[in-house]
């Protein structure tokens, strides 16, 4: 997303913030607990997570979960503007401060006074602006571009990124001191595939929202279709689910019930891993078992199935199991050795 989004509309107040974030899985309850604790404080929060996991909506929930919820909410996407324009956007400028500065301008920091400034995609912030942001966070004051007047800020800063910010620090692309300043309270948004129990609730929520927006009578989702949604890996997370429900409503035409065929989900290129709960329990006899041989038997069964499904093609079998071909060949050799023992 490259558009600069700035919204200053009042949003959910009090405990209403809880209604922003749908989901009752253990993972989402942890996120909500963190939001509840951190909402009323001024501590800087860094929200991480894959694309579409709800980072921005979590940031809004933090804003609404404290007294700042009555103040402004200002969101800025750090990738939306080139460095010099972003600096003016954040801190404001005086007329004539730079070519093109035709009039005085109030920056986003000033607009967010008494409220929350959400800096999205913070990992892409240019080095020079990182230094400036660090100064503002530490000193709680700044100057507009071209002005010597110091402006005090009372702004709570929440940032988000879907990149590994620590890796960027290690690559010398992100200041370590700023990383720690932003990461006072870290909140990690879990990918949807790690909280599948939330899928039915989210699907119902989006179905009601989309039917309402499309002004069609409320539809329902057939059990088989819901099963399909629950089984899918959702590489695009909640945003992808929302879009899939929108497509489902459209493709169902006049039908009241959404069927599996109404959800044309692209095959994810990342194979799913089976959750621990789905793996059958291997009984350990009182007399014990041979660990190496037992695990080898499980591995052998997985490899044999993949080779059978791919007609003995090792490359295709390796792809199916998310292994390198050389790793698959090495495993086959090791397993043959275990069998000979």
Ligand X SMILES: Nc1ncnc2c1ncn2[C@@H]1O[C@H](COP(=O)(O)OP(=O)(O)OP(=O)(O)O)[C@@H](O)[C@H]1O
Q: By CB under 6 A, name the binding residues for ligand X.
A: 1, 21-23, 49, 51-57, 162, 238-239, 242
Q: Which is nearer to ligand X, 110 or 242 (CB)?
A: 242
Q: Which is nearer to ligand X, 235 or 260 (CB)?
A: 235
Listed as own residue / partner, the contacts of 202-210 with beta carbons closer than 8 Å and 24 or more positions apart are 202/22, 202/23, 202/238, 202/241, 202/242, 203/229, 203/241, 203/245, 205/22, 206/241, 206/242, 206/245, 206/246, 207/245, 207/248, 207/249, 207/258, 210/245, 210/246, 210/249
Name the binder of 123 from ligand X, Mg ion, none, CB < 5-8 A by kind: none
Q: Which is nearer to Mg ion, 56 or 198 (CB)?
A: 56
User: Which part of the chain contacts Mg ion (CB under 5 A), choosing from 54-62, 66-74, 267-275, 284-292?
Assistant: 54-62
Residue (of 179, 252, 186) closest to 220 by Cα position = 252
Q: Which is nearer to ligand X, 157 or 318 (CB)?
A: 157
**Whole-number minimum distance, CB 21 to ligand X, in Å?**
4
What's the rounded Cα separation, in Å, for the pair 191 and 182?
A: 22
Angle between helices 223-231 and 237-251 (to 10 degrees): 150
**Whole-number minimum distance, CB 227 to ligand X, in Å?**
21
**Whole-number minimum distance, CB 208 to ligand X, in Å?**
12
The 246-265 contact track toward Mg ion, x by CB under 5 A, reads --------------------
Residue (of 85, 166, 92, 72) closest to 122 by Cα position = 166
Residue nearest to ligand X (CB): 54
Of 56, 87, 242, 262, the one binding Mg ion (CB under 5 A) is 56
Which is it for strands 141-143 and 150-152: parallel, antiparallel or unpaired? antiparallel
Q: Which is nearer to ligand X, 64 or 153 (CB)?
A: 64
**Whole-number minimum distance, CB 142 to ligand X, in Å?**
26
Q: How many residues belong to the site for Mg ion (CB under 5 A)?
A: 1
Residue (of 86, 69, 148) closest to 120 by Cα position = 86
Where do contacts with Mg ion occur on this chain (CB under 5 A)? Answer: 56
């Amino acid at each position: 997303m490259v558009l600069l989004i700035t919204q200053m509309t009042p949003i959910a107040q009090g405990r209403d913030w809880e209604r922003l974030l749908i989901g009752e899985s253990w993972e989402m309850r942890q996120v909500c607990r963190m939001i509840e604790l951190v909402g009323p404080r001024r501590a800087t929060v860094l929200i991480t997570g894959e694309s579409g996991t709800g980072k921005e909506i979590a940031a809004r929930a933090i804003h609404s979960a404290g007294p700042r919820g009555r103040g402004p909410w200002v969101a800025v996407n750090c990738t939306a503007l080139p460095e010099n324009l972003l600096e003016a956007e954040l801190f404001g400028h005086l007329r004539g401060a730079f070519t093109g500065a035709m009039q005085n301008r109030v920056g986003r920091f000033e607009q967010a006074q008494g409220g929350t400034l959400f800096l999205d995609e913070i990992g892409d912030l240019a080095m020079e602006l990182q230094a400036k942001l660090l100064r503002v966070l530490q000193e709680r004051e700044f100057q507009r571009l071209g002005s010597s007047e110091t402006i005090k800020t009372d702004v709570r800063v929440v940032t988000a990124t879907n990149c590994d910010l620590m890796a960027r620090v290690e690559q010398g692309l992100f200041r370590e001191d700023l990383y720690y300043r932003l990461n006072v309270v870290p909140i990690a948004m879990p990918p949807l595939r790690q909280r599948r129990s939330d899928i039915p609730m989210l699907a119902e929520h989006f179905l009601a929202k989309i039917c309402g927006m499309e002004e069609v009578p409320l539809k329902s989702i057939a059990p088989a279709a819901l099963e399909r949604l629950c089984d899918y890996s959702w590489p695009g997370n909640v945003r992808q689910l929302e879009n899939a429900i929108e497509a489902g409503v459209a493709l169902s035409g006049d039908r009241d019930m959404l069927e599996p065929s109404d959800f044309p989900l692209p095959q994810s290129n990342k194979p799913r891993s089976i959750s621990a709960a789905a793996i059958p329990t291997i009984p350990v006899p009182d007399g014990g078992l041979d660990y190496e041989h037992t695990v080898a038997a499980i591995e052998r069964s997985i490899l044999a199935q993949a080779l059978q499904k791919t007609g003995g093609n090792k490359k295709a079998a390796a792809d199916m199991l998310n292994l390198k071909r050389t790793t698959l060949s090495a495993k086959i050799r090791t397993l043959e050795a275990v069998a000979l023992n």
